[in-house]
Structure 1
Amino acid sequence: MGNNHIITHLPIYKAALHDDWDSVSEMFKNDPGLMTKPITMWGETPLLIAIGTDRSHRFVEKLVKRLIDVGAKDKLIMGNQDGTNPLHYAAMVGNTTAARLLVEHAADMTHVPNFDGNNPLNMAALHGNKETLEYLLTVTQDLLPEEGGSSLYAGVAGGDLITLTIMSGFYDVALEIIDLHPNVVLEKDRDGRTALQILAQKPEIFPSGSKLGFWTRFIYSLIPVKKRGRHTNEINILLRTFDKFTAGFWSALQYVAPTIKYIHDIKVNNNLSSLLVERICKIVIEQVDHDIAWNIFGSAIASAVTYGIHELVEECILTYPGIIWYNVDGYYLFILAIKHRQERVYNLVYQMSRFKVWTTVQVDGYVKENALHKVAQLAPPHRLGVVTGSALQMQRELQWFQEVEKSIKPSYIEALNIHGQTPRMVFTEAHKDLLAAGQQWMKDTASSCTVVAALIVTMAFAAAFTLPGGNQDDGKPIFLTSNTFMLFIVSVAVALFSSSTSVLMFLSILTSRYAEDDFLYALPKRLTIGLLSLFTSIAATMIAFSSALALVLKDKVTWIAAPLVIATSIPVCLFGLLQFPLLVELVKSTYGRSIFHQQNDRLIH
């Protein structure tokens, strides 16, 4: 009964929705109070509804003008039952046109928060409306307490603004805010997070989190990215002209190939993230306040280690080397990297010539476990999944164990924890399920491939004694002098030998003892040789079949060669597409460069 007015004012509601000012103009003229009367269950006025559509621009313009004409300018700030005023609505939906109109007549509205404490700036950032946010930043003054207002770039409001801007992906806008209000990076948002901590939770904007293949990395290296800063001399003016030309070329290319734009955006974000981290670190250390630096850097690297963002960790350590001893839930930086299996963060130990010896000496006093005990625990599920299959996951876990084993004190290798277990005992216990899964994965893979390889052996052996065209009276093949026949017989021989090798390799996998250490090198090596041999035998079999057909049909169908080559390549390509990624991963993880190595020289001193 108390909401009957909603039905009564439906014509006004519909007019606001559909930008139909003419239908209500006379109504507002006769009863000006209707212009500011709540007409929905949430206490929304016609102005709020019209702004919220981001389409009823004429309605908003006429309504604001009418309110000012009748002396109700103060009603422009009137909000709904949550204290959300018209400028909040404009910020929420990205209605920059309405925002300009409102600020023109009520500039102070930019500082008014709603009942949740959100001001228009934060609302625009929260809802990802970049254009509106950029406009509001240009018209929102930084009022100091002595000027009768509170700064929107300080305290929780400032913390919310910079963190929400970064979370929305507006990194260029965040840089502009920091340039104008450097101390905003020292503030915490309502959840107690700083700008650097939010960056540490966005691995996708750093090079280490950008998943690029070979060709995308090549294109990435060629794409130019505009640098911040100004050209100051004639040489730089020439460079700027050249940059404009190349930028125009790549911009045009982005329309033709959307993938280019995707890679370009990745590189832009990588560049902006680097600038943001450097700028924030510089501002923090310039405060000459240990507590501020310790808390901001420490909370950021705690998140960065979890997400594997080594670039951010590096910059923090370069700025403040002592931060490597920041304690996160009882663990120092490199122990935390071991726990989360973040090799790129752990690899920073190779760049720290002076502190390397101290990085893995920590012992958990409560459970008496050292770094080797920690790496013996099973990796988090999201880190296990970075490699394919349970067998390679087991291999990666063994590689981690061996790496940490090399870097700790010899006395730690057989040290007992509170349960009387050595690190190796902990590893065996923690990985028993993964070991069983790896054994099953290996057996299933080997069994499937053995069947295929055995069939090829049978076919190749039979083909060697069933020659195309038959034999002469003296037993010699009819096509013995033909080059195509030589291709056939060589292909059959290669298919037989390679498939036999493949069968032997897969049989050796099936009869293996499946000990833990076998997954480090022996089993992956056998699987690699088996898959390579199987691939070779399939390719050779297709070549042999094609050459046999070409010999038989050459006098009848002279054009048969080209279609046969195409047909032959189809199964070979399919096998390559389906199995080659696994083969590459096997070779890379077993014979390739270790995941533990010095990444650069930035921290060496």
Structure 2
Amino acid sequence: MAATVSPIANLQLLNRHNYEDWSFQVKVYLLAKDVWDVVEAATEPPTPEDGEAEFRAWRKNNAKALLAIRTCCGDDTYPIIKGITTAKAAWDVLAEKLKPSDSEEGTQVKPSCETDATYTHNINVKYAPLYASVKRGDWNAAKEFIDRHPEALTHRGSSSGGTALHEAIQRKQLHIVEELLKLMTEPDLEIEDDLRFTAFFYALQKGMAAIVAKMVKKNKSLVTMRFTNVAGNQTPVLVAHTLGHWEIARFLYSLTPIHVLTQDNSGRDGAQLITECFFQINKFDIGWDLLQKCPKLALTETYATDRSPLYALAGSRFAFSSGVPLRFWQRWIYNNIHVQQPQPAPINSDVCVNFEELEDDKRNPRDLISSVTGFFQGVVKNLLKLLGIHDLHEIRLHHDRILQILPLVCDVATRRNLDSKQTAFVQKAIFRAVERGQVEFIKEMRKANHRIPLTMGDESDRSIFHYAVECRQEKVFSLIYGLSEYVRNAIVSTADKFNNSILHAAGSLSAHLNHIQGAALQMQRELQWFKEVEHIFPPQFLEVRNETEQITARELFTKNHKKLVKEGEESMKGTATSCTVVGALIVTIMFAVAFTVPGGNNQDTGFPIFLRKKFFRVFLISDSISLLSSTTSVMIFLGILTSRYAEDDFLRSLPTKMLLGLFTLFLSIAAMMVAFSSALFIMLEGESWVSIPISLLARVPIASFVWMQFPLFLDIFMFTYGRGIFDKKCRAWE
């Protein structure tokens, strides 16, 4: 049954039998529209609380993707997603309902209840036995029919309007495909089905490496034939790369004339290939070779409107080490990994993959030595993955490769003969790098052309430092300390076209606070930003008012952070209240224990019976420490509850009180457990088989407190007394 065509870009409508072809076409279309991210996102979508700008951007992209998916659904499939409001949920539901299982994929397209007679309903009765034989995988019957009817080899009579070769590939009947290829001529391989796809397209789609190699060997023009029904009329090498079939892509690239990727279709195929290479770990060989042969592709528009490979590189979160959040121990391992690698070698026809040998190697068992070697290599690799070292090595290798490519890309971006569109691409890429905090990219651009980062402004006349403050990218803003005082003052005293200074940008409410735990720490971070920018801001401009609201930067800060101050107050009071209750309970217990000591008192002297025992002294000291520290913690938390909660209190006063309160509460809990354990040893002297296990269990409350509260304690300490959010030592532009 041939699929009808949807109103969008001539994409086919989804029915219950063409999910694989439909999903590929729609995915490519969504990639071209730059909205595929909302469909494949692994995290929850943002909410208005995460930031109004981020939420609006997601909502817009979600609406675009959902509209495209709904429009491409037929009458029998649209009810499946009716009422679903997110593109990701709609895509997942369609995949769950319509995607054939592995067992079904190679044997049937129609429902299992259909007979061969039903299957041939839309097929010419004369050729029905041929397609039924292909469906069953019976080559002898198919060959006998073709011998009697040679024209059947090229007859377009399959369920999708294709030839027997189309049908065999879609049903993964590999032995029939190989036999059909022996009988078909070069022009036969260019026959299209009702969807205007050749059999070669389906072989690419399913990753049939050996079949692709055989088809190209028979008809070399297949590598340059564009798939006109794919968004953008893409080349086979780009389709293979998009689908993740890397070896097939390398093979096709080695045979594709360079002009097909760099000149035909405005060079979009080459630009798209380079863009996708930037997002794949250790898949740079094609992109590197293309950039060397045609550097201008770095500023060529891809299939995503107004996007270029330079923009993709600047926006990739994991392209540079500054964009990868690592813990201190991961950072230590990362810095000590030494990767020795040559520059990626250019690809040519001499290094293409021999797929026939590859397939033969998969079929034949390896010898004993190679099997044992592979086993131990697998064990070592899995162990390194378990420890996280393998992933860190891959990340480091990825970053080193990017740093090899970066100078070439930046050199192209800083040439003087750029047209207006290329200049716009450079501007967008730089501000994208600022938004993502890619300080390595900005440094390299500065190295290639000393004027670009300082003189360039966006559509609102904001400099990169203005935008860095707005996006809260401290690593980028820290570069300002590497400038002379005169230049620094000139930059920070400039304003955008609405007369918003760089201090006004610091006074806006950031949409990049989700990584900070709790509203109180978020407010502290916002204050630190404002104070740091205010510190380098010329005093004579502090009272400058903007044009939109006619308020100063400080007034703007107060206005925008009223809600965050209230949330921070509630957060601090909630934590203080809970800790006060715990501290009060410990005070009550430890005070009572001080007068009901283990073993009681001597009736004659009034002194404790176990006064001379070593563990009794430990008991008394730990009880006193627990009582005093818990009392102190209660007083500190009461001080937090009665604080005024002014804006500046969140900078140091309130965090310091919270630090002291948590520390003294932890000390009281630890001392209480020590007192309990020492009392247990006194009462059960000589019964170590009981007292020792119980004493070990007494460590559980201490460990649980550390596990749950230490991250908060460490964050407060680092934010309040650490080096600050600006690394003034990292100020070199080299």
TM-score under structure 1 normalisation?
0.88
Q: Which amino acid aligns with 1:257?
A: L
- Map 1:507-526 → 2, pairs under 5 A: 507-526=638-657
How far does the alpha carbon of each residue in 1:306-348 deviate from its partner, in whole angstroms, 9 at most, with x for none? 2222111221122122222222231221111111111111111
Q: Determine the structure 1 residue equivalent to 2:524.
A: 395
Q: Provide the rounded CA distance (Å) in 1 between the counterparts of 2:292 and 2:694.
A: 66
Q: Provide the rounded CA distance (Å) in 1 between the counterparts of 2:262 and 2:675.
A: 83
Alignment CA distance shift 1:95-1:326 (3 Å):
farther
Moved more, 504-513 or 169-178: 169-178
Q: Provide the rounded CA distance (Å) in 1 between the counterparts of 2:672 and 2:146.
A: 86
Moved more, 445-454 or 166-175: 166-175
1:58 aligns with 2:175: yes
1:436 aligns with 2:566: yes
Q: Determine the structure 2 residue equivalent to 1:126.
A: 242
Contact preservation (8 Å) 2:334, 2:396: yes
How far does the alpha carbon of each residue in 1:117-139 deviate from its partner, in whole angstroms, 9 at most, with x for none? 11101101211221111111112
How far does the alpha carbon of each residue in 1:351-408 deviate from its partner, in whole angstroms, 9 at most, with x for none? 2336323322221333x3211112211101xx11121000000111111111111222
Q: Determine the structure 2 residue equivalent to 1:593.
A: 723
Moved more, 534-543 or 352-361: 352-361
Alignment CA distance shift 1:480-1:90 (3 Å):
same
Q: Determine the structure 2 residue equivalent to 1:543.
A: 674
- Map 1:447-526 → 2, pairs under 5 A: 447-472=577-602, 473-526=604-657
Cα drift, residue 432 of structure 1? 0.8
1:359 aligns with 2:495: no
Q: Determine the structure 1 residue equivalent to 2:556.
A: 426
Q: Provide the rounded CA distance (Å) in 1 between the counterparts of 2:444 and 2:598.
A: 69
Contact preservation (8 Å) 1:126, 1:165: no
How far does the alpha carbon of each residue in 1:269-324 deviate from its partner, in whole angstroms, 9 at most, with x for none? 22222222223123444676486874443221121112222111221122122222
1:198 aligns with 2:312: yes
How far does the alpha carbon of each residue in 1:80-111 deviate from its partner, in whole angstroms, 9 at most, with x for none? 34433333333333222122111111112111
Cα drift, residue 422 of structure 1? 1.4
Q: Provide the rounded CA distance (Å) in 2 between the counterparts of 1:197 and 1:590.
A: 36
1:272 aligns with 2:406: no
1:310 aligns with 2:422: no
Cα drift, residue 595 of structure 1? 0.9
Alignment CA distance shift 1:373-1:164 (3 Å):
same
Q: Which amino acid aligns with 1:462?
A: A
Q: Provide the rounded CA distance (Å) in 2 between the counterparts of 1:286 and 1:172.
A: 25
Alignment CA distance shift 1:101-1:328 (3 Å):
same
Contact preservation (8 Å) 1:304, 1:312: yes
1:162 aligns with 2:296: no
1:574 aligns with 2:704: yes
Q: Which amino acid aligns with 1:198?
A: A
Backbone CA RMSD of aligned residues:
2.8
Q: Which amino acid aligns with 1:50?
A: A
Alignment CA distance shift 1:430-1:15 (3 Å):
farther
Q: Determine the structure 1 residue equivalent to 2:151.
A: 33
Contact preservation (8 Å) 1:153, 1:181: no
Alignment CA distance shift 1:264-1:50 (3 Å):
farther
Q: Provide the rounded CA distance (Å) in 2 between the counterparts of 1:541 and 1:14.
A: 80
Q: Provide the rounded CA distance (Å) in 1 between the counterparts of 2:545 and 2:562.
A: 20
Cα drift, residue 79 of structure 1? 2.6
How far does the alpha carbon of each residue in 1:399-441 deviate from its partner, in whole angstroms, 9 at most, with x for none? 1111111222212211122333111111111111111111111
1:88 aligns with 2:201: yes
Q: Provide the rounded CA distance (Å) in 1 between the counterparts of 2:430 and 2:708.
A: 39
Moved more, 106-115 or 273-282: 273-282
Q: Provide the rounded CA distance (Å) in 2 between the counterparts of 1:429 and 1:475.
A: 66
Q: Determine the structure 2 residue equivalent to 1:241.
A: none
SS at match of 1:204: coil
Aligned length: 575
Cα drift, residue 532 of structure 1? 0.9
Alignment CA distance shift 1:88-1:450 (3 Å):
same
- Map 1:102-251 → 2, pairs under 5 A: 102-115=215-228, 116=231, 117-143=233-259, 151=263, 155-169=267-281, 170-190=283-303, 191-229=305-343
Contact preservation (8 Å) 2:189, 2:200: no
Alignment CA distance shift 1:558-1:98 (3 Å):
same
Q: Determine the structure 2 residue equivalent to 1:22.
A: 140
Q: Provide the rounded CA distance (Å) in 1 between the counterparts of 2:124 and 2:700.
A: 68
Alignment CA distance shift 1:357-1:7 (3 Å):
farther
Contact preservation (8 Å) 2:262, 2:269: no
Alignment CA distance shift 1:386-1:253 (3 Å):
same
Moved more, 111-120 or 214-223: 214-223
Q: Provide the rounded CA distance (Å) in 2 between the counterparts of 1:566 and 1:303.
A: 54
TM-score under structure 2 normalisation?
0.73
SS at match of 2:492: coil
Q: Which amino acid aligns with 1:334?
A: F
Q: Provide the rounded CA distance (Å) in 1 between the counterparts of 2:124 and 2:523.
A: 67
Contact preservation (8 Å) 1:334, 1:346: yes
Alignment CA distance shift 1:290-1:347 (3 Å):
farther
Cα drift, residue 255 of structure 1? 2.4
Contact preservation (8 Å) 1:92, 1:127: yes
Alignment CA distance shift 1:507-1:476 (3 Å):
same
Q: Which amino acid aligns with 2:221?
A: D
User: Structure 1: any 5+ residue segments left out of the alignment?
Assistant: 232-247
Q: Provide the rounded CA distance (Å) in 2 between the counterparts of 1:303 and 1:24.
A: 58
Q: Which amino acid aligns with 2:539?
A: P
Alignment CA distance shift 1:127-1:16 (3 Å):
farther
Q: Determine the structure 1 residue equivalent to 2:93.
A: none
SS at match of 1:467: coil
SS at match of 1:512: coil
Alignment CA distance shift 1:23-1:549 (3 Å):
farther
Q: Determine the structure 1 residue equivalent to 2:685.
A: 554
Q: Provide the rounded CA distance (Å) in 2 between the counterparts of 1:32 and 1:502.
A: 93
Contact preservation (8 Å) 2:133, 2:139: yes
Contact preservation (8 Å) 1:509, 1:526: yes
